[in-house]
């Protein structure tokens, strides 16, 4: 026990760390937290009851976007400079602020700023439910921001739960509908099981390595790996593999990666399309960021040790030595992620073939895209040991993919939601002959779906191209050549497979005859829904042509991998 | 006093509780029981975390247990709402009653146990009527076919 | 501190045994109590998984969790043990038991899995258990006693850690440069999480005020008519109402 005089210095150090170092880098999350409280207060005060909660939420999200943007701009290497790895641990090492944190946070906030007007126009949370809906959305997004910046297993667990539990409630948003209740129950049951398994894996890893702090764990892991030649490990590998696999179960569940994808189609079909868009875009973005965090956190020791900055060259050497020792750990991670990527991509695309419900089709499309993203992550981890510069490029490819995916997939779900309001149906067959009544929407659908396939002039092409070029680089440079070759072939074949089912939707919309008794009215682009769809589809085209600006940001995000 | 290898035994107990909970989630069909088994899994984790905390002489494990308890309470609250909603809707707690959302090509999991209690005549609780019928649509009141 | 709680606990057990005149000094009370609590926790956990009756199952879970709290006390984590008893056994489980009571008004529902299911589950569960136990047994160094005896009450350093200040140094054997993580952030952020979950649960549990169906509901009802062939989806025919009294009771009993 320390004496009382020490307590003063501990308190002042803690205050300094929290107020001066950590909170200024935590402003977007603070904005979200304040908005959650404001949404509650607005319901209590009679004057503020007149205010629509969507505008309160949008204001909070806009502030958060502004701060996230200024955080990204403040990074070293912004616009033209050499992107340096800048890494700062905040809140006594529980979170880490670096370029990946800033980039993912910016994506999530941009998503919110687009998503709130979309839900306001589509009308799924009506005026009465709006405050609850936006509280849940903002709370879940707060958890997702923490997922992107977690540096400690406690924060990993907390962040995953903070993102998941509000999502269960969101899945059950349509209280009167049986399908919605079923989606919520399935999501909650599977989610409870997956989080339990993940937690057990964490307890094994943390117990064996004696810490929950990811960089410390990496150092301990390197120490263990250094002891392998001495041969006194005594079964440690088995515990490590078991712990790693159980942790991977939880992450795969969040990513909807095969074999833990089974919840995804049911939940997307049962929940409202708006909620599907949230789960598909925001949740996926955060889960990929968390996977990168854990894979790089455990596979690559950080160069600058805390408290050893005076001799950073020495520390860098030590980190390089430890990095060499962690080769086996990286090999294990690459094999797991790569295998999962190949399975996820193939199964997602094949299962999408027979679907009649548009939301279910998009759920399988989400699964397939998780597969492509996992391929990029696998390539990045495979390259990280030997070729840090190429690993950066691979991470940049993943980051770029996430940004384009935001527009493409949110656009697709927005179209489903607006067509549901117009046609009272979410079946693909009900879209027949839509080109005669609402040609603008069909063009927007075409843009979004063709971009999801990854065909040339659109943004989706560049993201797939970057992922595949990262795989090619991994084939030529890394030691994981066979697996990367398999991934490249699987990815290419799947892109061809996916042509059919995306184009089938367009075929129904354009060539099938218009049914005589179509309910509902036409959907014009010159309306609020049309404006939202345009706002989501135009960036898909623009990013296909002017992609270099976004790629510069993505390269900045990739700088964390060095 | 500490002659027993504490960590080792606690890990064994933790593994046992955890796998029992997982088996329960996978096999039981009653929705409430599934969530009770999820709590059991978390207990297994907590036991091993406390043992690790003792072994390493670090409080981190215990702090993690505190947050596990908190989050489990959150999950239980949300899960209970779902279970009550499900019961109000179908009048049963059987997970097999929730199969509307599935692949169109896959059949329902047919279950021989299901029809038996469906054909039972409902037994409503009886009380002597007291006072006047409260206002409101009589059709609105919850009408269950079976309990 | 683990020793103190242990002594007080063993004192309770000692009284009847003293009368029997056994050589008490020869017995390792810590081991005996550990075995007792561990076997109680495991046996009642088996009961949870196997029991058919929901109420019994909830009761078994209460016993199992209470025995786990005993394990926490033995491991020197009194604060966690007390939290376990107060929050988990006293709060969370009572919540779930409320759920049991609200949903089971008739003779308690027992939903039995089929024998094949049970056999499969037993196989899967035992293989999982074997893997986990093998993992726990595989590392030799785990079989010796822990590095450090706990010497101080745990509540103070835990509370300080939750406020972001670590008053306990890192363990003697830990690597240099280890970071002492304070837990102020999760302690604060979990309050936002609790608020959000509370709002969500209140939203889901609240009845919708509106009467006119939204467009989405109309679409949904169209869908469910298509699926009306599934038997559970739409009950065949509601029983005729026996009169206003039963309507009053069944409406009022909710």
ipTM field:
0.91
Under 8 Å between Cβ of A211 and C178: yes
Q: Average pLDDT for residues C119-142, to the nearest whole number?
A: 81
Residue B111 pLDDT greater than 70, yes or no: no
> Which residues constitute the domain of residue A37?
27-225+234-303+312-558
**Cα–Cα distance for residue pair A361/A412, rounded to 1 Å:** 11
Under 8 Å between Cβ of A337 and A294: no
A20, two tokens: 């001066």
Q: Does the CB of C98 have a partner CB in chain B at under 8 Å?
A: yes
Tell me the CA distances in angstroms from A110 to A24, A98, A355, A493, one per residue in order: 20, 18, 31, 32
**Cα–Cα distance for residue pair A149/A155, rounded to 1 Å:** 9
Nearest CA among A395, A215, A184 for reference residue A318: A215
Q: What is the pLDDT of residues A326-335, one digit of tens each?
A: 888 888 999 9
Reported as a pLDDT band with limits 50, 70 and 90, residue C248 is very low
**Cα–Cα distance for residue pair A542/A551, rounded to 1 Å:** 13
In chain B, residues with a C-beta closer than 8 Å to the C-beta of C117 are 27
Residue A410 neighbours by CB under 8 Å, 6+ apart? A111, A114, A115, A118, A277, A281, A536
**Segments making up each domain of chain C, as ranges:** 1-106, 152-164+184-204
For residue B49, how many other CB atoms are within 10 A of its CB? 28
Residue C5 pLDDT greater than 80, yes or no: no
CB atoms A192 and B48 under 8 Å: no
**Cα–Cα distance for residue pair A292/A297, rounded to 1 Å:** 8
- Residue B133 pLDDT: 56
Q: Average pLDDT for residues A279-298, to the nearest whole number?
A: 94
Residue B136 pLDDT greater than 90, yes or no: no
Nearest to B98 among A158, A185, A193 (CB): A185
Residue of chain A with shortest Cα separation from C185: A91
Q: How many CB pairs lie under 8 A apart between chains A and B?
A: 123
CB atoms B55 and A207 under 8 Å: yes
Give B13→chain C minimum CA distance, Å.
Answer: 6
Do you know the residue count of chain B?
147
Report the predicted TM-score, pTM, of the whole model to 2 decimal places: 0.86
In chain A, residues with a C-beta closer than 8 Å to the C-beta of C177 are 305-308
In chain B, residues with a C-beta closer than 8 Å to the C-beta of C38 are 9, 12-13
Give B32→chain A minimum CA distance, Å.
Answer: 10
Q: Average pLDDT for residues A303-316, to the nearest whole number?
A: 52
In chain C, residues with a C-beta closer than 8 Å to the C-beta of A210 are 171, 174
CB atoms A196 and B82 under 8 Å: no
Give B116→chain C minimum CA distance, Å.
Answer: 12
CB atoms B40 and C64 under 8 Å: yes
Strand partners, B94: B30
Q: Does the CB of A235 have a partner CB in chain C at under 8 Å?
A: yes
A77 exposure class (CB count in 10 Å sphere: 0-12, 13-18, 19+): middle
Residue A9 neighbours by CB under 8 Å, 6+ apart? none
Nearest CA among A200, B28, A234 for reference residue C132: A200
CB atoms A14 and C182 under 8 Å: yes
Q: What is the pLDDT of residues C99-114, one digit of tens each?
A: 777 776 555 455 666 6
Residue A116 pLDDT greater than 90, yes or no: yes
Q: What is the pLDDT of residues C12-35, one digit of tens each?
A: 444 454 445 556 666 777 788 888
Least reliable range by pLDDT among A148-162, C40-54, C83-97: C83-97
- Residue C219 pLDDT: 56
Give C99→chain A minimum CA distance, Å.
Answer: 15
3-state SS assignment for residue A20: helix
Neighbours of chain A (3+ CB pairs under 8 A): B, C
CB atoms B48 and A182 under 8 Å: no
CB atoms A185 and B82 under 8 Å: yes
- Let me know if residue A19 belongs to a domain: no
CB atoms C183 and A94 under 8 Å: yes
Residue with the larger pLDDT of the pair B111 and A385: A385
Question: Cα A441 from chain centroid?
Answer: 27
Bond before A259 cis per omega within 30 degrees: yes
Strand partners, A135: none
CB atoms A165 and C141 under 8 Å: no
Residue A279 pLDDT greater than 90, yes or no: yes
- Residue A345 pLDDT: 93
Reported as a pLDDT band with limits 50, 70 and 90, residue B49 is very high
Nearest CA among A257, A251, A254, A153 for reference residue A210: A153
Give B39→chain C minimum CA distance, Å.
Answer: 9
Which numeric CATH code is attached to B1-97? 1.10.287.3510
Tell me the CA distances in angstroms from A434 to A211, A397, A497, C16, one per residue in order: 58, 36, 25, 85
Residue A242 pLDDT greater than 80, yes or no: yes
Reported as a pLDDT band with limits 50, 70 and 90, residue A310 is very low
DSSP codes, B48-79: HHHHHHHHHT-SHHHHHHHHHHHHHHHHHHHH
Residue of chain B with shortest Cα separation from A177: B89
Under 8 Å between Cβ of A190 and A262: yes
Tell me the CATH architecture of domain C1-106. Up-down Bundle (1.20)
Reported as a pLDDT band with limits 50, 70 and 90, residue A104 is very high
- Residue A19 pLDDT: 81
A428, two tokens: 């693909």
Tell me the CA distances in angstroms from A134 to A117, A120, C189, one per residue in order: 11, 10, 18
Radius of gyration of chain C (CA): 26
In chain B, residues with a C-beta closer than 8 Å to the C-beta of A211 are 58, 60
Nearest CA among A274, A290, A386 for reference residue A331: A386
- Let me know if residue A13 belongs to a domain: no
Task: Give the total number of structural domains in chain A.
Answer: 1
């Amino acid at each position: 026990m320390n004496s009382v005089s020490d307590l003063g210095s501990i308190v002042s150090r803690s205050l300094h760390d929290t107020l001066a170092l950590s909170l200024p880098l935590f402003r977007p999350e603070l904005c979200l937290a304040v908005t959650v409280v404001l949404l509650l207060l607005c319901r209590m005060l009679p004057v503020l009851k007149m205010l629509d909660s969507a505008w309160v939420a949008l204001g909070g999200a806009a502030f958060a976007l502004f701060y996230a943007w200024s955080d990204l701009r403040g990074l070293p290497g912004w616009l033209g400079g050499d992107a340096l790895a800048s890494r700062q641990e905040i809140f006594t090492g529980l979170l880490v602020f670096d370029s990946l944190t800033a980039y993912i946070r910016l994506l999530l906030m941009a998503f919110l700023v687009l998503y709130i007007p979309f839900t306001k126009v589509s009308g799924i949370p009506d005026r009465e439910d709006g405050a609850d809906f936006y509280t849940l959305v903002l709370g879940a997004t707060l958890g997702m921001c923490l997922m992107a910046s977690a540096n400690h297993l406690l924060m990993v667990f907390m962040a995953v739960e903070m993102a998941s539990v509000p999502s269960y409630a969101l899945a059950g948003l349509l209280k009167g509908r049986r399908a919605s209740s079923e989606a919520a129950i399935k999501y909650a049951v599977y989610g409870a099981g997956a989080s339990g398994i993940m937690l057990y894996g964490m307890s094994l890893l943390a117990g064996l390595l004696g810490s929950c702090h990811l960089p410390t764990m990496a150092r301990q892991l390197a120490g263990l790996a250094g002891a392998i030649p001495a041969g006194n490990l005594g079964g440690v590998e088995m515990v490590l593999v078991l712990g790693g696999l159980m942790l991977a179960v939880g992450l795969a569940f969040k990513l909807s990666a095969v074999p833990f994808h089974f919840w995804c189609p049911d939940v997307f079909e049962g929940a409202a399309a708006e909620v599907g868009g949230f789960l598909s875009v925001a949740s996926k973005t955060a889960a990929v960021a968390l996977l990168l965090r854990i894979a790089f956190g455990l596979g690559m020791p950080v160069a600058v040790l805390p408290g050893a900055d005076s001799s950073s060259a020495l520390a860098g050497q030590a980190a390089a030595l430890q990095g060499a020792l962690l080769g086996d750990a990286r090999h294990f991670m690459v094999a797991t992620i790569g295998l999962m990527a190949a399975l996820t991509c193939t199964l997602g695309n094949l299962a999408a073939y027979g679907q009649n419900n548009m939301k279910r089709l998009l759920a399988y499309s989400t699964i397939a895209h998780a597969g492509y993203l996992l391929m990029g992550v696998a390539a990045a981890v495979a390259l990280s040991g030997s070729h840090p510069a190429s690993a950066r490029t691979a991470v940049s490819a993943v980051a770029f993919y996430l940004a384009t995916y935001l527009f493409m997939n949110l656009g697709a779900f927005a179209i489903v939601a607006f067509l549901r309001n117009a046609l009272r149906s979410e079946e693909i067959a009900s879209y027949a002959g839509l080109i005669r009544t609402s040609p603008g929407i069909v063009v927007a659908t075409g843009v979004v779906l063709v971009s999801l396939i990854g065909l040339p002039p659109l943004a989706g092409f560049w993201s797939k191209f970057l992922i595949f070029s990262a795989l090619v680089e991994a084939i030529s440079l890394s030691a994981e050549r066979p697996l990367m070759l398999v991934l490249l072939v699987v990815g290419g074949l799947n892109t061809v497979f996916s042509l059919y089912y995306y184009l089938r939707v367009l075929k129904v919309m354009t060539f099938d005859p218009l049914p005589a008794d179509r309910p509902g009215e036409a959907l014009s682009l010159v309306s609020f829904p049309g404006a939202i769809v345009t706002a989501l589809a135009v960036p898909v085209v623009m990013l296909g042509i002017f992609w270099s600006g976004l790629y510069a940001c993505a390269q900045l995000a990739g700088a964390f991998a060095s | 006093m500490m002659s027993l290898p504490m960590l080792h035994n606690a890990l064994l107990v933790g593994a046992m509780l955890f796998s029992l909970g997982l088996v329960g989630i996978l096999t039981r069909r009653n929705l409430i029981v599934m969530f009770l088994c999820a709590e059991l899994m978390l207990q297994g984790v907590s036991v091993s975390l406390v043992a690790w905390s003792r072994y390493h002489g670090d409080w981190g494990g215990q702090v993690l247990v505190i947050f596990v308890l908190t989050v489990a309470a959150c999950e239980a609250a949300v899960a209970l709402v779902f279970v009550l909603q499900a019961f109000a809707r179908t009048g049963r707690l059987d997970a097999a009653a929730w199969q509307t959302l599935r692949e169109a090509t896959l059949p329902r999991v047919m279950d021989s146990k299901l029809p038996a209690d469906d054909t039972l005549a409902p037994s409503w609780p009886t009380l002597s009527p007291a006072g006047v019928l409260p206002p409101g649509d009589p059709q609105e009141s919850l009408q269950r076919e079976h309990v | 501190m683990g020793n103190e709680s242990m002594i007080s606990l063993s004192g309770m057990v000692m009284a009847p045994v003293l009368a029997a005149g056994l050589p008490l000094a020869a017995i390792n009370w810590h081991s005996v109590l550990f075995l007792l609590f561990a076997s109680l926790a495991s046996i009642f956990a088996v009961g949870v998984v196997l029991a058919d009756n929901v109420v019994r199952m909830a009761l078994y879970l209460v016993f199992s969790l209470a025995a786990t709290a005993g394990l926490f006390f033995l491991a020197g984590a009194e604060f966690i043990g007390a939290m376990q008893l107060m929050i988990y056994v006293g709060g969370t489980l009572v919540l779930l038991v409320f759920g049991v009571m609200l949903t089971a008004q008739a003779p308690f529902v027992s939903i039995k899995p089929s024998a094949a299911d049970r056999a499969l589950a037993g196989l899967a569960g035992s293989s999982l258990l074997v893997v986990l136990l093998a993992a726990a047994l595989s590392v030799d160094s785990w079989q010796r006693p822990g590095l450090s005896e706990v010497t101080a009450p745990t509540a103070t350093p835990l509370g300080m850690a939750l406020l972001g200040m670590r008053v306990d140094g890192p363990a003697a054997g830990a690597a240099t440069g280890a970071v002492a993580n304070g837990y102020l952030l999760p302690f604060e952020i979990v309050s936002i999480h609790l608020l959000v979950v509370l709002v969500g649960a209140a939203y889901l549990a609240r009845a919708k005020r509106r009467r006119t169906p939204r467009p989405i509901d109309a679409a949904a009802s169209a869908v469910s008519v298509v699926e009306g062939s599934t038997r559970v989806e739409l009950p065949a025919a509601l029983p005729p109402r026996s009169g206003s009294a039963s309507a009053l009771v069944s409406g009022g009993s909710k």
